Amino acid sequence: MSSTQPEPGSAARSPLLMQPYGQYVLVRKLAEGGMAEIFLAKLLGADGFERNVVIKRMLSNLSSLPDFVEMFRDEARLAARLSHPNIIQIHELGFIDGCYYICMEYLAGEDFSSTLRQAGRKRQYTPFPITLRVLADAARGLHFAHDFTSESGQPLHIVHRDISPSNLYVTYQGQVKVLDFGIAKAESRLVQTRTGVVKGKYIYMAPEQAQGQEVDRRSDVFSLGVSLYESLTNVRPFARENDLAVLNALLQGDFMPPSSLRRDIPPELEAVVLKAMSLSPENRYATAADFADALEHGLEGKVPMATHKELAEYLRGQFGEERFTERTRVPTLETLTSQSAQLASQPPQHVVFASSGTFPTVPAPPKRLSSTSIVPPPGAAQASSAARRGPGLGVLGAVAGVLLLLAGGGFVAWRALSRPPAPVAAAPETPAPPPAAPTPPAAVAPPAAVAATPTEVPPAVEPPAADPAPVAVAPGEGPEEKTPLTPKPPSRTKPRLVTLGIEDVERVVEKSRARIASCFEKYKKELPADTGVVRVQLSIASTGRVKATTQGPLGSKTVGECLEAQAERLRFPAHRDKAVNVVLPFDYTVKR
């Protein structure tokens, strides 16, 4: 879960809880993800003092993982020190009923992702001045964190790692806040410690992050560039049909220039986007402050920037007075208690069905591609259950896994050897394409936007899938031809080639989990430590056969040979690529 603030309308939909929680009262549950559950709460004090806050409480099953608890505490303490107008403020790290929680400021506003979707629903682009203000302010907050030092002046090298429109928040007072500093890093460190998994939304992350390499502030600059691209065009640049295609497009820099999707984008603004999204970190803006300067000063005379007052007015106009009131005027505890008592006194509602037994049907929504459904972070409950299974292959049964695939010449980071039973799918951050045939991108560009006035546009269009290749019909095989007198000999059916995807690898590797894990148990006396990670590279031929090679020093030739032998017994579906190289990090824990 990325956003620490309520989703649109969630406060109105969720029931009142009114549960005492230390010095707080939990009012409503706003959201829940694989790491924590989030509540709107009231901080209580003397003489009727109360303040609206947000409580982010660690899920109870994670409290049994000491390494995660320690990282949660460390990162929360760090995030609380980041006091900046453009970073959400954390008030307290606490511990109640066996679970850690974080108390943070309540923000009355909307996340930027919802703002973009709202504009798309109205067939508008978010005006240039609004977009520039949001991204420039967010970059200022990021730069403060990137430059943050310890008490002795030692740089801490903080990197957010999960910048996207959903983690940028705009208040009804015109403020811009970066959410989840430190918390995102805690999640990342947890799974990287166990399996080397890459944390973040693939569609926004920098190529070096997708490859599992070291990241620095320029990785966040790349994510800012992707967010700027999306907010200007209503299109995610790397949106594809599945996560592997997304990552291949990311690593190859395969995206359409913004001006090809929206003709009124000034060349100077497009240049800012393209520089921030450079594949090589050396070619990007060196700092988030440089990125902000390019938006605030480099476009002077070309693109105006909204004031904070104009930003507040735009947000209120987009979402309406009812939403504004809901977010900015949270009732007092006395009023909420009265409402809760009234609801409790009402008789239960009974539903009576017609005797005919027929029920109205709800048409299913049209199937569409949504990058936000790409491999959600696995639920932490699986981490706990896997840890209880005893020694074995942690990458297959612990938290998650990372596959570094080389398809067409470039490494691609890929996770998801274990899925959560019920992943929380994020809402699409851009409007879905209509069921009708998509309009070519160049045709949807609207006239030039004027200041902060919304511009009429159709909903965002994801890149269309390629048309199927034409099928030639030989004489005698068409519908108008007569059946040949001499039947043709039956031809051997060729195996259907697939694009190797997550489901294929999951299915094959999971079937061999116990067999591969047995190598660590069988030769545990030769392992250099009770816990560790071994990386094995698989070269998967187009036929599905595998050649395995152990990478790096292992300290035991026997264990490496066993892993290679077991891995080479895997058989993947025949696929279209000539070869796909996969690096599997095998996380083991044994008891001697």
Q: Which of 259-263, 508-512, 534-538, 588-592: highest mean pLDDT? A: 259-263
Q: What is the CATH number of the domain that holds 301?
A: 1.10.510.10
How many secondary structure helices (H) and strands (E) does the chain include? 18, 17
First to last CA, the chain: 38
Both tokens assigned to 91: 């008030």
Rounded Cα distance, 85 and 15, in Å: 32
Q: How far apart are CA 60 and CA 381, in angstroms?
A: 9
Residue 487: inside a domain: no
- Contact (CB, 8 A) for 409 and 536: no
Among the candidates 303, 322, 341, a domain finishes at 322
Bigger pLDDT: 78 or 275? 275
Of residues 455 and 563, more confidently modeled? 563
What values do phi and psi take at 15, rounded to 5?
-75, 160
- Name which of 95-109, 273-287, 307-321, 460-474 the model is least confident about: 460-474
DSSP string, 255-316: ---HHHH-TTS-HHHHHHHHHHT-SSGGGS-SSHHHHHHHHHTTTTTTS----HHHHHHHHH
Tokens of 404: 């570094």
Whether 336 and 18 have beta carbons less than 8 Å apart is answered as yes
- Given a cut of 90, whether residue 131 has pLDDT beyond it is yes
> How many of the other CB atoms lie within 10 Å of CB of 448?
12
Judge whether 530 counts as a catalytic residue: no
User: Quick one: pLDDT at residue 185?
Assistant: 54
pLDDT tens by residue, 194-228: 334 444 468 999 999 988 888 999 999 999 999 99
- 14-32 average pLDDT score: 89
- Which contiguous run of DSSP H or E holds residue 43? strand 36-44
Which of the two residues, 299 and 230, has the higher pLDDT score?
230
User: Does one domain contain both 298 and 388?
Assistant: no
Among 555, 562, 553, 563, which Cα is nearest to 586's?
A: 563
Q: Are 401 and 195 in contact (CB under 8 A)?
A: yes
Tally of CB atoms within 10 A around 81: 14
Same domain, 32 and 103: yes
| Structural domain includes residue 427 | no
Q: From the candidates 162, 180, 243, 587, give the one annotated as an active-site residue.
A: 162
Q: pLDDT grade, residue 343 (50/70/90)?
A: low
Nearest Cα to 232, choosing from 249, 254, 257, 251?
257
Q: Of 241, 200, 194, which is closest to residue 223 (Cα–Cα)?
A: 200
The whole-angstrom separation of Cα 459 and Cα 513 is 44
Tokens at 159, concatenated: 């990197």
Between β-strands 531-541 and 455-456, what pairing exists: parallel, antiparallel or unpaired?
unpaired
How is residue 340 annotated by DSSP? H
What pLDDT is stored for residue 201 in this prediction? 63
Let me know: does 199 contact 35? Beta carbons within 8 Å: no
What sign for the dihedral angle of Cα 171, 177, 178, 181? negative
Whether 38 and 159 map to the same domain: the answer is yes
The 3-state DSSP class for residue 116 equals helix
Q: Choose one of 277, 294, 322: the last residue of a domain.
A: 322
Q: Which of 42-56, 186-200, 403-417, 465-479: highest mean pLDDT?
A: 42-56
Backbone angles phi, psi at 248, to 5 degrees: -65, -45
Q: Over the chain, what is the mean pLDDT?
A: 74
Choice between 215 and 529, residue whose per-residue pLDDT is larger? 215
Q: Are residues 107 and 253 in the same domain?
A: yes
Q: What's the confidence (pLDDT) of residue 363? A: 38
Q: Regarding predicted confidence, which is higher, 166 or 461? A: 166
Residues 265, 385, single domain; the answer is: no
How many domains are contained in the chain?
Answer: 2
Residue 454 included in any domain: no
Does residue 266 form part of some domain? yes
Residues ≥6 apart with Cβ < 8 Å to 486: none
Say what the pLDDT of residue 549 is.
86
Q: Is residue 465 in a domain?
A: no
Of 130 and 388, more confident: 130
Residues 391 and 293 in one domain: no
* Percent with pLDDT over 70 in the chain: 66
Query: For residue 25, how many other CB atoms are within 10 A of its CB?
Result: 21
pLDDT tier at 469 (50, 70, 90 boundaries)? Answer: very low
Choose the weakest-confidence range: 241-250, 496-505, 519-528. 496-505
**pLDDT at site 380:** 36
Distance, in Å, from the CA atom of 316 to the CA atom of 110, rounded to the nearest integer, reads 10
Encoded amino acid at 523, one letter: Y
Contact between 112 and 231 (Cβ < 8 Å): yes
Task: Answer with the one of 322, 339, 355 that is the final residue of a domain.
Answer: 322
pLDDT band at 588 (very low <50, low <70, confident <90, very high): confident
Residue 408 region by backbone torsions, left for phi larger than 0, else alpha for psi between -120 and 50, else beta: left
Residues 32 and 142 in one domain: yes
pLDDT band at 345 (very low <50, low <70, confident <90, very high): low
In whole angstroms, how far apart are CA 153 and each of 144, 147, 149, 478, 538? 14, 10, 5, 78, 45
Cβ atoms 136, 298 nearer than 8 A = no
Q: Looking at the domain assignment, is residue 355 inside a domain?
A: no
- The pLDDT, as a whole number, for residue 492 is 56
User: In which band, very low, low, confident or very high, does the pLDDT at 536 lie, cut at 50, 70 and 90?
Assistant: confident
What's the average model confidence in pLDDT over 272-296? 97
Q: What is the DSSP letter of 95?
A: E
For residue 29, pLDDT over 50 is answered with yes
pLDDT, mean of residues 262-285:
96
The pLDDT-based confidence of 520 (bands split at 50, 70, 90) is confident
In a domain, 344, yes or no: no
Does 555 or 236 have the greater pLDDT score? 236
pLDDT at residue 73 in the model:
82
> Greater confidence, 341 or 401?
341
pLDDT digits (tens, 9 = 90+) for 553-563: 666 788 888 98
- With residue 221 as reference, give the H or E element that holds it: helix 217-233
Q: pLDDT (tens digit, 9 = 90+) per residue, 322-337?
A: 999 999 999 998 888 8
The pLDDT of residue 381:
37
Q: Which runs of E-coded beta strand occur in 359-470? A: 392-393, 402-407, 410-415, 455-456
Query: Are 113 and 204 contacting, i.e. CB atoms less than 8 angstroms apart?
Result: no
Q: What are the pLDDT digits (tens) for 487-507?
A: 455 555 555 666 776 667 777
Contact, 517 vs 550, CB < 8 A? no
Range of the domain at 85: 10-322
On whether the CB atoms of residues 281 and 208 are closer than 8 A, the answer is yes
316 and 240 in a common domain = yes
- Model confidence at 170: pLDDT above 80: yes
User: What value does the mean pLDDT take over residues 553-581?
Assistant: 80
pLDDT of res. 232: 97
Gap between the Cα atoms of 371 and 365, Å rounded: 17
Partner residues linked to 455 by β-bridges: 125
pLDDT at 495: 58
Residues 315 and 385 in one domain: no
Q: Indicate if 389 and 298 belong to the same structural domain.
A: no
More reliable by pLDDT, 292 or 497 = 292
Phi, psi of 103, rounded to the nearest 5 degrees = -105, 125
pLDDT at 43 over 90: yes
Q: Does 274 share its domain with 384?
A: no
206 and 93 co-located in one domain: yes
Residue 520: closest CA among 555, 495, 493, 489: 555
Residue 250 three-state SS: helix
Using left for φ > 0, alpha for ψ between -120 and 50, and beta otherwise, residue 331 falls in beta
CB 31 within 8 A of CB 7: yes
CA 232, CA 131: separation in Å to the nearest integer? Answer: 7
Across 396-422, average pLDDT: 37
pLDDT band with cut points at 50, 70 and 90 for residue 51: very high
Over residues 293-304, the mean pLDDT reads 90
> What's the whole-number mean pLDDT along residues 427-443?
42
Domain assignment present for 366: no
